[in-house]
Structure 1
Amino acid sequence: MLAVAEINYIRHEVNFKGCGYSSVAKKMGRDPRTVKKYAEMEDFNEKPKKKLTRTAPVIGPVKAILDEWIKEDLKKKKKFRRTAKRMWELLKEHHGFIGSDRTVRDYVSTRKKDFLNEVNDAALPLEAIPGTAQVDFGEAPFVYGGEEIVLPYLVLSFPFSNAFYFQVFPSQNRECFLEGMKRVFHHMGGVPKTIRFDNLSPAVKKILPNGERQLTDEFQNFVLHYGFECEFCNPNSGNEKGHVEAMVKYIRNNFLLPGLHVIELDELNKKLWGKAEKDRKRKHYQKKWKIEELFEEDKDAFLLLPAKEYECVRYETLKADKYGYIKLDLNLYSTSPRYALSKVLVKISYNRVDILNDDHQLVVSHSRLYGQYRKSMKWQPYLNLMAKRPTALKYTSFYDQLPEEWKNYFGSCTVTEKPEALKLLSIILKDHDFSVITKALVIASEYGHPSVDAIKQVFYQLINGRGIRSELSSKRSLPQLPVATRGLDHYDQLQKEVQHNE
């Protein structure tokens, strides 16, 4: 491109003075063809410069390999990523690369920036970028124990592919919220790189000015553990996560109505994985591809799972009342008599409430109660105390929970046997349920009322797999002994005989 002054001179000399191309070219020291070009030029609009594409005979054949390695590494923590030097060494060792390490370093540096820019652009879930997700709760009716109840279900949806997963929970609390996402992550084998949320109370403690959020401690730790970016809708702007809201309705209408009969939530949730995956056989409502094919693109963009699974629990220190109960969400849970009026550490998950001692060892474990003003009583830690007051046994709920065999046994126990039997149960029920110890009682009772030591001996024979000793046989015929009976009947009979003799 000539200077502007030269172009003006050419156009003036040729177009206004009528000079020839050769004469003007001679005066300027230019080629006549150049003079002709600018004299006749009519379009002076600026055009973008074409980018020169140079062939890269050395790096070209391995670009695809390097791109794949860079994409893999961006899903890992920085300390686990390959350096450009290491990539160069691997290329030489496995792919016969003959280029310099500088060539590889320059290429890797440029491509990392390109890919990171793509990731930054991807942090807009509404644009349906692969690997992004949205989360929300829905509600549906279920039939449990013959009664209709309403339970929440957590939905994780993927706007790019229109795929989804969902799990049913007893509540929308923090533990259920995190447990649901964790289950989906580990079932898929990856983590969405960006997830959009409503301002759910399990995640957001407080909405701050300028769009900032104060997150709950549990949610913040969960985000750090799995490494995804979280985005939140503006208050009262549910349309900003419109995909998951539409999917909540779709799931309810197609999978949860009419109300499903529920016996165990865990069993129901296992079946829901297959229902969500079977739904992907249909085509996307806009794109020509099947949802399951598009979901593979979502999965390719996922982050890798961390090596360790996150434990969705929280810890609280609570004070027990004089009976040893702690109160959690307006429900009562037993601890142990030794913790009455004392503080205990409580480990809380979506389905368990564990009471821990000062060394963080388990004292007693409860199934978590949902609803209000309910009570969970585990009697094992109280049995030693009950052994000191055995007459109170019949007036406790523990007695109502006893198998009939044990009720009958306690009914025929002597005053000294009852405390010993309660102490035995205190030991056995710490690690076992009633099934084996009740079987031991039945076997030990075959020849009459057994002692506590006899029940204990049979129990340990059963759990150690030694079997039961067979009855000893004798060649001698023994005289038939009268049947031994217990109680005061003998005393009454003796009194009658004495009175008769008098």
Structure 2
Amino acid sequence: MLAVAQIDYIRHEVNQKGETYASVGRKMGIDPRTVSKYANQEEFNKKEKQKRKSPVMDPVKPILDKWIKEDLKKKKKYQRTAKRMFEQLEKFHSFKGSYRTVRDYVSRRKKELTVTTVDAALPLEAIPGTAQVDFGTAPFKYQSEVIDLPYLVMSFPYSNTFYFQVFPSENTECLLEGLQRMFHHMGGVPKIIRFDNLSPAVKKIHSKGERDLTDTFERFVLHYGFKYEFCNPRKGNEKGHVEAMVKYVRNNFLLPENTILDLDQFNKTLWKQAEEDRDRPHYEKNILQSKLYKVDQENWLMLPEKEFHCARYQDVRADKYGMVTVDKKQYSTSPRFAKQLVRVCITYNTVNILNDRNEVVVKHSRLYGIKRKSMIWQPYLDLLSKRPRAIKYSSIYNQFPTIWSDYLNDCTEEEQKKALRLLGELLKNDDFSLLNEALQTASVHGHPSVDQIKHCFYTILNQNTSHTTIQPKVPLPRVPEITRGLSHYDTFFQKEDQ
């Protein structure tokens, strides 16, 4: 069909100026019969293309569509070929058509479905299998205090459903840990996920809207295969569904303050709460949200075979005490790493110190809040108990509680060995509380021995601070008052009635 401008030119030249079909055809380089057709055409309404019925292919097209959609969720190497689909149609569905017909249909439908998926990224709000993600904050009771903690929400606009998890921070590791938990609980990955410009994912936004992403986030996206989108700066309405869902979650599940004893255990209870919330009609579609959620599920990508290791690695130089600083918090390594570059593996809840073979040397719980230092004493005590003289030159005294650094300074070399071995034996969870109390009790009468400290430690540990009076089976003789000479010994042998 010719363009509208060409048809208009033909009709003007022939009908208004009286030019012949042949002359107009020569000017335009087209057949005179085509000129005649458009010059005399009466109707220009767009006609629907009639679909030809295909008694052989029509019954199997829904089957092929289902297979193609399933395969588009998988990696290319796991997708069926058109030949394999043809063989399965012949074997299981008594198909009598040709391989070429199946091949052409599969090729065309794959292109159509792929284009539909890409185009669907623009109007995200109502597309099955897509999601939006954002953080919110809510108050929680923890150790008798009320603190604000972030929670991650993934909402599904098509079904108006969601999942959420609570974390100690909004850093990259918490974001990816939350997304991964949701993917594996759901059993699939949304095709498209829209984010705000979260700093855990976006390092920098350039003038034309291009973004530099964090390395860990980029690798996470490649691992799970979803398409990501980011809102324009200061355009939170572009992810309006999750914005509303963040408020809904806070008002309906997180207020008043929940008491948290174990955050991981608390998060496990949230899956059921989110799923029970789906048993209500959609606010517009008048269908149960649980049924719409199943449509979302049908459009998700398949999970990869392995989980992603949600961690970042960082090379940090240790100070003279062997301490490294990660996100403004200090973590101990080992005295042999003092003033050296140390490789650190950081997850949402751990900070692991690695050796040159990438083996974990020290494992810390990651610090959040006001606490600024985590000290794991075992690597220091093991080394120092073998080389106690080194302690005077390592400045490690400054890391011990004051009561212990003073005690070790007053010890002989042999006493230091025994004291350090005792610390290595009794120190649990790097908590000096009981050991400090034991040393203080043992020091009441001066510089104590290691055995005295050990005895006091176990006395305190077992709360053995009271002694039961032993009742003798036979009466004991009365002890006479002290007198000079030997005569008082005779009283032990006197009879009671005398």
Offset at residue 418 of structure 1 (A): 6.8
Letter in 2 for 1:184: M
**1:250 equivalent in alignment to 2:268:** no
Partner residue of 2:379?
A: 381
Partner residue of 2:271?
A: 273
Offset at residue 116 of structure 1 (A): 1.4
Cα separation, 1, equivalents of 2:382 and 2:255:
50
SS at match of 1:93: helix
SS at match of 1:280: coil
1:251–1:50 distance in 2 versus 1, CA, 3 Å: closer
- Decide which moves more: 77-86 or 164-173: 77-86
SS at match of 1:267: helix
Q: 1:57-456 to 2 correspondence within 5 Å? A: 57-372=55-370, 374-387=372-385, 388-389=387-388, 419=417, 422-423=420-421
Partner residue of 1:28?
A: none
Cα separation, 1, equivalents of 2:427 and 2:308:
31
Letter in 1 for 2:61: K
Letter in 1 for 2:174: C
Partner residue of 1:438?
A: none
Partner residue of 2:43?
A: 45
- Is the Cα–Cα contact under 8 Å of residues 350 and 364 in structure 2 kept in the other structure? yes
List structure 1 runs of 4+ shifted beyond 4 angstroms. Answer: 390-401, 413-418, 420-430
- Is the Cα–Cα contact under 8 Å of residues 330 and 373 in structure 1 kept in the other structure? no
Offset at residue 285 of structure 1 (A): 1.1
How much identity, in percent, do the aligned residues show?
59
1:427–1:63 distance in 2 versus 1, CA, 3 Å: farther
How many residues align structurally?
A: 388
Offset at residue 139 of structure 1 (A): 0.4
Return the TM-score normalized by structure 1: 0.71
Cα separation, 2, equivalents of 1:330 and 1:395:
20
1:396–1:450 distance in 2 versus 1, CA, 3 Å: closer
Cα separation, 2, equivalents of 1:395 and 1:113:
68
- Is the Cα–Cα contact under 8 Å of residues 280 and 292 in structure 1 kept in the other structure? yes
User: Cα RMSD (Å) of the superposition?
Assistant: 3.3
**1:54 equivalent in alignment to 2:52:** yes
Q: Deviations over 1:69-113 (max 9, x none)?
A: 100111111122111112112222222222211011011112112
Offset at residue 386 of structure 1 (A): 3.4
Cα separation, 1, equivalents of 2:204 and 2:450:
64
Cα separation, 2, equivalents of 1:185 and 1:116:
22
Q: Deviations over 1:138-188 (max 9, x none)?
A: 000111110110000011001111101111000011111111111111110
Letter in 2 for 1:341: K
Q: 1:27-46 to 2 correspondence within 5 Å? A: 44-46=42-44
Offset at residue 330 of structure 1 (A): 1.5
- Decide which moves more: 273-282 or 45-54: 45-54
SS at match of 2:189: coil
Offset at residue 47 of structure 1 (A): 3.6
1:400–1:375 distance in 2 versus 1, CA, 3 Å: farther
In structure 1, stretches of 5+ residues that fail to align are: 9-42, 402-409, 435-448, 452-502
Cα separation, 2, equivalents of 1:428 and 1:303:
52
Return the TM-score normalized by structure 2: 0.71
SS at match of 2:344: strand
Cα separation, 1, equivalents of 2:354 and 2:199:
27
Cα separation, 2, equivalents of 1:427 and 1:450:
12
1:341–1:372 distance in 2 versus 1, CA, 3 Å: farther
Cα separation, 2, equivalents of 1:125 and 1:177:
25
In structure 2, stretches of 5+ residues that fail to align are: 1-9, 15-40, 432-448, 452-498
